[in-house]
Amino acid sequence: MIEIYTDGACLNNPGPGGWGVIILKKDKKIVFGGNEIETTNNRMELTAVIEGLKQISKETPVKIFSDSAYVINTMTKNWKRKKNNDLWDALDNQVLSRIIEWNWVKGHAGNLFNEEADKIAYSEALKIQKQIEEN
């Protein structure tokens, strides 16, 4: 089973944001991230999960690890979706016909891959903020 660790970050919330993904499959580790100029931490958390799932075949079972109660509890406990409906729709599209195990991990608590995803997300947010400041 493939494991995906995700995290999102936002400076000033709303503000410049970033997301990070770590995908572990067999002996391979895939690391990537992205950013947005004006966003929120919840949007970045959702985007990280969506982008991670886009990299995996729909036939492959996946374990997702996130420190976002917003994402995990909405997917497992049917929390109401009041905002970010565009991203919830995109996530719903990605989870269709998939076998997914959703796992919440405590953030900043020493989980190696969660910490790495956090660093990617934060560095992506800083990168976009620096670009804004230079323009």
**Which is nearest to 7 in space by CA: 73, 88, 64?**
64
- 108 part of the active site: yes
Look up 45 and say whether it is catalytic.
yes
Catalytic entry in 33, 34, 45, 115:
45
Of residues 7, 36, 51, 115, which has the active-site annotation?
7
Catalytic residue among 51, 115, 118, 124: 118
- Which one of 8, 17, 18, 33 is the catalytic residue? 8
- 8 counts as catalytic: yes
3-state secondary structure 45-72: HHHHHHHHHHCCCCCCCEEEEECCHHHH
Angle between helices 85-95 and 41-54 (to 10 degrees): 20
- Is 67 one of the catalytic residues? yes
Catalytic, out of 27, 59, 108, 133: 108
- The DSSP 8-state label assigned to residue 11 in this structure reads S
Q: Catalytic residue among 36, 51, 67, 115, which?
A: 67
92 is catalytic: no
Residues identified as active-site: 7-8, 45, 67, 108, 118
